[in-house]
Amino acid sequence: MTDDETKSLVRKFVLKNALEHDGKARSDTVIAKIIGLKPELRKEVRMILDEINVVVDDVNKLNINEQKADLERIAPEMLVQEHKEQKNALPPLPNAEMCKVVTRFPPEPNGYPHIGHAKAVIIDEEYAKMYDGKLILRFDDTNPLKEKLEYYDAIKNGIEWLGVKPHMIKNTSDDMELIYKYGTQMLEIDAAYVCMCAINTIRENRRNGVECECRHLDHGHNFERWEKMFSEYEPSQAVVRFNGDMKSENTVMRDPTLFRIIDAEHPLQGHKYRVWPTYDLATSIEDSVDGVTHAIRTKEYELRNELYYAIIDKLQLRKPLMMEFSRLEFDGIPVSKRKIKSLIEEGLVKSWNDPRMPTLIGMKRRGILPQAIREFILTLGFTKANTKPPLDVLESINRKMIDPSSIRLFFVNNPTILHVKNAPVKNIKIKNHPDAYMGVREVKVNDTFYIAGDDAKKMKPGSEVRLIGAYNVKIDNVGEKIIGTYNGDELRNISKIQWVSKNNEVKMTIMVPKTLYVDEQYNSTSLEIIEGYSESYVSRLKPDDIAQFIRFGFCRIDSTNVAILTHR
């Protein structure tokens, strides 16, 4: 291809990528797309990467309308293709109108976001994009006992990393006065009452479908109790309950709690409020007043839909359409904040960013790209069917994305010394990538190498191996050290092994994440630490760089001399 053809191709793909990510193109995604479409360009990847970086900077300065106009001018077929891809990724929404769809992602700031949250927010955003609508990020922060400022920031950072850009960010706790107004209205129309029964009594009555005396209080007593909840009553002394159906087959409708007293400092509101709405009440009100047209959540809440609509009907509020999808789960990986928190609290994992964790910060640290997560989630589609997709699918998508730009290096674990008699002392040039042109590195070799312990165990006197990129060695003696003899440079059909030249080695620690749970029990061997040597060239890499250690796997550089296995 000519320089002009390359520049034209790059600009088309950068513009298309920018439109897929709210106006912000990503160089790594673009290079993967281009190489995937035109494998013959692998030899020119360094030049193309430089060009992509320049164009990305230029395109990201444009607004979305300018980007769309530019792509329509130079490649209108890609603009049409982009719309088709978005529309086919998920099934159409019922009762949806262009430019009028509003979705919402309402996480509670009581932990770090995980891949289950990624599924929810990506589906919400994809539908908003599909209909040129809006996405609301709404923090469902109505339980000050569990919420922290740290978690608000963690959720925002996780969503930003995924490339999701909500049109509005808000907090349910900012609408407390509005929620109180609707709570008062519920009491006025006998849709709710203040109950002072003991918690155990309430539970027992709900289980047996028995009404309590509080249910039949007059307005005066109800409002007297309601006022005392704000000043006099202790936590658990009184709650506001929905006036539902204590005989309902759906136990959710057996007079559930709508307000409770929580005397704790709220991360945003401080001690301003002590009477807090439950999820069911707050969600019903907020979805309606926020203009949400399609409220999408996991199907574990499906039985709560009856209550959701009952509250909206009682208050005569606008009614969103509630939809459900299956929860994202993996075998052996806890996609539950409760389980994740317990692992941290019990000291079984150090933090939320542990690479074994399904948290977004954990997956990022492991080396999983946000684009891979999005593609993985969209391949699952929108369904209620319970499935546990293998993690291999996500890893396969990620592998395709990182392969074109990952440098290849040697790493030997459990190293054993190999001494080669009659070995030539010379400088060897090794390609940094087998396909793409990412330059070469020069390594000085003499007669002594480190090889992997597993390779050393397979060697026998008289056998022959090839040191990849160097020369052939005939094995003479096997012991604590391996002794061999130089046996020519020509390529032969013999075993090939990686190596690290002595005096060019750097100590390297690689963390290998494994399944956290086996048969519902914590796996105490879920994090393997491997020590070995890599080439000194690895010291040039920075944290977050990805390298493929040959015959070992793709690894993300975590810190100096430490890497994390992303996947094989």
Phi, psi of 222 (to 5 degrees): -60, -45
Q: For residue 539, what is the DSSP state?
A: G
Separation of alpha carbons 414 and 453, rounded Å: 5
pLDDT score of 385 more than 90? no
Closest CA to 132 of 107, 98, 156: 98
State the average pLDDT over residues 14-26.
Answer: 86
pLDDT score of 511 more than 90? yes
Residue 334: what pLDDT? 84
State the average pLDDT over residues 356-368.
Answer: 97
Q: Which residue has the tokens 């890499």?
A: 541
Contact criterion met (CB below 8 Å) for 268 and 252: no
Task: Give the model's confidence band at 436: pLDDT under 50 very low, under 70 low, under 90 confident, else very high.
Answer: low
Task: Give the model's confidence band at 329: pLDDT under 50 very low, under 70 low, under 90 confident, else very high.
Answer: confident
Separation of alpha carbons 99 and 105, rounded Å: 18
**Residue at 446: amino acid letter:** N
Closest CA to 532 of 464, 435, 451: 451
Of 32-41, 165-174, 304-313, 317-326, the least confident: 32-41
Positive or negative: CA dihedral 335, 337, 342, 343: positive
- Non-local (6+) Cβ contacts of 334 within 8 A are 340, 343, 358, 516, 517
pLDDT score of 102 more than 50? yes
Average pLDDT, the chain: 93
Residue 262: what pLDDT? 98
Residue 82: what pLDDT? 46
Q: Are strands 546-549 and 407-409 parallel, antiparallel or unpaired?
A: parallel
Q: Which residue has the tokens 């606008």?
A: 318
Residue 344 Cα distances to 118, 131, 338, angstroms: 21, 40, 10
pLDDT score of 1 more than 80? no
Structural domains of the chain ordered from first start: 3-89 (no CATH), 96-405 (3.40.50.620), 407-567 (2.40.240.10)
Give the Cβ contact number of residue 240 at 10 Å: 24
Q: What percent of the chain has pLDDT over 70?
A: 96
Closest CA to 533 of 449, 420, 469: 449
pLDDT score of 119 more than 80? yes
Closest CA to 400 of 434, 361, 363, 369: 369
Residue 39: what pLDDT? 64
